[in-house]
Amino acid sequence: MEEVQRNQILAWVFGGTGRYACGPAQLRYNVRNQPVELTSRMFPIIATAGAPRERGRQYGAQARDRIQHSIASYARLFAFCGLTWGEAQVKAARYRDVIAATSPALLEEMTGIAEGAGVAELEILALNARTEILPPTYPAEPSPAWSTARERNRAAGVADWGECTALAVLPAASRDGKTWLAQNWDWIGAQRAALVLLRVTDEHGRQLLTLTEAGMLAKIGLNDRGLGVCLNILRSVDDGQAPGVPVHVLLRHLLGCADVAAASATARSLKHGASSNILVADRGAHAASIELSPRSVAVLAPRSGTLAHTNHFLDTGQALHAAALTPLASTEQRLACALDHAARAPLGKDDIVALLRDTSGGAFAVCRFPDPTLPQEVRIETVAGVVMDLAGLVMWVAPDVPARVAFDEIQL
């Protein structure tokens, strides 16, 4: 590696701003100019089966320690925003009825998770509604009530301890005629220790596989009918003002759909408590970005066989009510990089992995390393990378920053 390239990498790893240009993944070497061995330690795979409450108990019992980690992480994160864990649970209770109206079975499963993990049902509700509870301004400066909230959490015995780039590639733009769906999930690095791969077989024999945070129903995943979902958090001025279906509950609900048309219709039929984009694709060569907000739902179609999304609204009507984004989001730079990769179609799995490993944007890269100069509560990094073959029902997962680990194959 040339010295100038090495210095650029050092600059952004240790707090510099890096470059905006997009290119092939470069951080295949460490700061001492030695090759990085691409190995990985996969997240626990938790299998559940049966009726909803029983599935939840199985999940909760097997993921008990990781659920406790999730609770500790989000108690600290909410405190950063001025909310105690108890106050977060009060806010979460507002979502119980809308979840029950959307899917009684999923509420039953959440009750089972709480029973299996030995925690309160409202704590599981708070985890699943964390996007709706966090204020639209997060991540930003800490609330003036931060230290007070943390102290109140400690007194109550609570443990202490840019978001995402997604791409869909349809057969017309793929090297092998397959439909591909992929995402880097960016979030606080401390939460990586709470991730699980959840493999669910319901009472009717239908199956799904999802990478999610312990205690949550779903995040990135696919089902046995070849439908896949990815998530980009968006922020609008209306978020959290009134109860709506929490997005992590919605993701699981959509994993019960057969195709993109059904998923889009389902999302349009529901009320949403906060803003998000769900990039959805199916093995029938369909894809859509479903931009949700409390005001409306916009469905965006692919162009030239690909569809990319990051963390800002692309629909002009939705964008009118967007909340101001912190520069930490790096959403414009990451979208430009994803679109640059998409323009190189036809794309195969290796090309998609190269996007997820792209470090060429430095601090604004698709593949994001943590900035040690930031507080842990806003130290965003790429927690995991996922590539899905929707026809083959296969998921490849990088259980760390993708530039430094291998993608391991997980079969549905």
Q: Give CA 29 to chain center in angstroms.
A: 27
pLDDT above 90 as % of the chain: 75
pLDDT at 151: 77
pLDDT tens digit sequence for 236-290: 999 999 999 999 999 999 999 999 999 999 999 999 999 999 999 999 999 999 9
State yes or no: pLDDT of 14 exceeds 50.
no
Q: Give CA 191 to chain center in angstroms.
A: 11
The sign of the CA dihedral 103, 92, 234, 334 is negative
Question: Hey, which of 3-17, 60-74, 127-141, 350-364 has the most confident mean pLDDT?
Answer: 60-74
**How large is the C-alpha radius of gyration of the chain?**
20
* 229 in Cβ contact with 279 (< 8 Å): yes
pLDDT tens digit sequence for 265-275: 999 999 999 99
pLDDT above 70 as % of the chain: 86
pLDDT tens digit sequence for 312-349: 999 999 999 999 876 666 899 999 999 999 999 999 99
CATH 3.60.60.10 fits 164-411, yes or no: yes
Which is higher by pLDDT, 64 or 24? Answer: 64
pLDDT at 25: 41
State yes or no: pLDDT of 26 exceeds 60.
no
CA 308 → CA 69, 97, 279, distances in Å?
32, 34, 8
Assigned token pair, 145: 């009530």
* 125 in Cβ contact with 343 (< 8 Å): no
Nearest to 271 by CA among 239, 244, 297, 247: 244
The CA distance from 183 to 384, in Å, is 9
Query: For 363, phi and psi rounded to 5 degrees?
Result: -65, -15
* 365 in Cβ contact with 381 (< 8 Å): no
Q: What is the largest CA-CA distance in the chain?
A: 60
Question: Across residues 82-110, what is the average pLDDT?
Answer: 97
Question: Across residues 213-225, what is the average pLDDT?
Answer: 98
pLDDT tens digit sequence for 376-406: 777 889 999 999 999 999 999 999 999 999 9
Q: Is 215 left (phi over 0), alpha (psi -120 to 50) or beta?
A: left
3 state SS for the chain: CCHHHHHHHHHHHCCCCCCCCCCCCCCCECCCCCECCCCCCCCCEEEEECCHHHHHHHHHHHCHHHHHHHHHHHHHHHHHCCCCHHHHHHHHHCCHHHHHHHCHHHHHHHHHHHHHHCCCHHHHHHHHCHHHHCCCCCCCCCCCCHHHHHHHHHHCCCCCCCCEEEEEECHHHECCCCCEEEEEEEEEHHHHHHEEEEEEECCCCCEEEEEEECCCCCCEEEECCCEEEEEEECCECCCCCCCCECHHHHHHHHCCCCCHHHHHHHHHCCCECCCEEEEEEECCCEEEEEEECCCCEEEECCECCEEEECCCCCCHHHHCCECCCCHHHCHHHHHHHHHHHHCCCCECHHHHHHHHCCCCCHHHCCCCCCCCCCCHHHCEEEEEEEEEECCCCEEEEECCCHHHCCCEEEEC
Domains in the chain: boundaries = 53-155, 164-411
Cis peptide, bond prior to residue 44, ω within 30 of zero: no
Q: How many CB atoms lie within 10 A of CB 317?
A: 12
Nearest to 83 by CA among 138, 124, 34, 143: 143
- pLDDT-derived band at 31, boundaries 50, 70, 90: very low
- pLDDT-derived band at 177, boundaries 50, 70, 90: very high
Query: For 205, phi and psi rounded to 5 degrees?
Result: 90, 0
State yes or no: pLDDT of 150 exceeds 80.
no
* 95 in Cβ contact with 243 (< 8 Å): yes
